[in-house]
Amino acid sequence: MSAEPEAPPAPHTEPPVVTPVRVVIALCLIAPFVAMLWVGSYAKTDPVLIGIPFFYWYQMVWVVVSTALTMVAYKLWQRDQRARKGGASQ
């Protein structure tokens, strides 16, 4: 009867670095940059909103949208970090 040697216990593995949550976080942070750097998409005067040319009000809308996306990314990051700390201590 040959006895097989016992396999060593599995080492503790870290969670993957790239997760769906982190991809969403990256998209939230990259979207404003892409929107503002793609000037050809908003370099025009029409449509006018309350007498303000499109070029200006589009940028002002992105200030608010960027704030919201950054807040979402921060909250997701906090939740991700709490999950990683909780998973690592088990």
User: What average pLDDT does the structure give for the chain?
Assistant: 87
Vertex 78 angle, CA 16 and 80, to 5°: 25
Q: Is the pLDDT of residue 84 over 90?
A: no
Backbone φ and ψ of 13, nearest 5°: -105, 140
Q: What is the pTM of this model?
A: 0.74
Question: pLDDT by residue (tens digit) across 35-69?
Answer: 999 989 888 889 999 999 999 999 999 999 999 99
